[in-house]
Amino acid sequence: MTAPAVAGAVFGTIGALAAFPLRLAAREVERQHGQLRRGVTRRTTHVVFGRALLAKAGLTKNGDAEVERRVVAERAAGRMLLSENGFLRLLGLMKAPEASSLSRQSLIDQSRLSGADLDRLSLFDAFEHDGEPYSFRDLILARKYAGLVAGGATWGAIARSVHRSGPVASLTAKSLNVGSQHGRADAIYLEGGQSELDGQLLFDLGAATRGDDTLEDLFTEAEAAEEGGDHDGAAALYQRCLAIDPTDAIAAFNRANCLRGSGRAAEAAHDYARAIKLDPAFVEAWFNLAGLMSEQGRDASARRHLQKAIALDRTYADPVFNLARLEFDAGNLLEARRLWVRYLELDSQSEWAGVAARGVQFVDMQLAQSAG
């Protein structure tokens, strides 16, 4: 039977999955009539934070802060956030832990762990449960983690470390000490320091998943290059991703953005079209291709692509604004006014809303003068 929570849902991943190959997860989500994509788009309803994201974050100075930023941004966008274990349980691929009854607030009150740290640690499976209701074992762990935080450990160091010893529930019977007591603030120690939880993940998926690991590493490297402004380098990396997985619409879309940024318009148009062919409902690809057509003076094509983007996502304000501008430039004042009014229904606060409001006023003035 199809799980109602999965059917129709669009899952996006941030960071590689440590416990399960992405291609197998995608296959299972598709079997249950949902979609799984690497990265996040407007259509994404659920975001899975892969535990491998934390391992990479631990290698950079501000890595944990960047993870926190992504968590806040995705939660603010109204998407459901899932840990790896939570995702697997939703798919029915992992058995749920024993019955539990502790609320989030009760766990905070009894453990003195901050709500922010509780949520982050839950998102990276540092507890038996990935959300409320929590168990008594989770309370024990929360108290241990609160002690580690009081000793100078960060939530990221804890989350990277706890998976080293096997199932996190096994830590309830062990004594944990923050690594700063042993000269390392980024590690958690067992039994007074005799052994170290060094933050390396235990999951060993073997040679069968090396291709997935390589792809995830390439995709992450490409994203970093793109964010750093290295458009040509990022485009080359995304091309390598596509060579491994030719069905990845987001890699094609990201590559198109990079090609556009480096002035390679014809190649960019090709990859936007490729992303759309792979995912006809990829609204951002329709929108960006429209922008590229508009830059080249191909207004008729731009208009068609913007209309498609609006039809796919009626809450997406940007294509409405751009289409209004096209209609205004073409002298279609009534249609431009209608679109600006619609834009203001979707966005009444931004700088562009002010432009739209002035556009409506201008058209009204022109129509009044014509009537006079």
Could you write out the DSSP letters of every residue in 302-357? Answer: HHHHHHHHHHH-TT-HHHHHHHHHHHHHTT-HHHHHHHHHHHHHH-SSSHHHHHHH
- Tens digits of per-residue pLDDT, 207-259? 333 445 578 788 888 988 998 899 999 999 999 999 999 999 999 999 999 99
Q: How high is the pLDDT of residue 23?
A: 82
| Within-domain flag for 335 | no
Q: How high is the pLDDT of residue 182?
A: 42
| Within-domain flag for 274 | no
Query: Among residues 168, 197, 226, which one ends one of the domains?
Result: 197
| Within-domain flag for 184 | yes
pLDDT greater than 80 at residue 279? yes
pLDDT greater than 70 at residue 96? yes
* pTM, rounded to two decimals: 0.81
Average pLDDT over residues 53-72: 87
Q: How high is the pLDDT of residue 177?
A: 58
Query: Among residues 169, 197, 225, which one ends one of the domains?
Result: 197
Do 112 and 59 fall within a single domain? no
How many residues are given for the chain? 372
Percent of the chain with pLDDT over 70: 86
Do 191 and 136 fall within a single domain? yes
Residue predicted with more confidence, 59 or 362 = 362
Q: Residue 318: which pLDDT band, with cuts at 50, 70 and 90?
A: very high
Q: Residue 370: which pLDDT band, with cuts at 50, 70 and 90?
A: confident
Q: Which domain holds residue 31?
A: 10-91
Q: How high is the pLDDT of residue 180?
A: 45
Average pLDDT over residues 334-349: 96
Q: Is 56 in contact with 221 (CB distance < 8 Å)?
A: no
Q: How high is the pLDDT of residue 193?
A: 45
- State the chain's mean pLDDT as an integer: 86
At 44, which CATH number?
3.40.50.10190
| Within-domain flag for 264 | no
Query: Among residues 91, 121, 148, which one ends one of the domains?
Result: 91
| Within-domain flag for 331 | no
Q: Which residues contact 344 (CB under 8 A, 6 or more apart)?
A: 353, 356, 357, 360
| Within-domain flag for 129 | yes
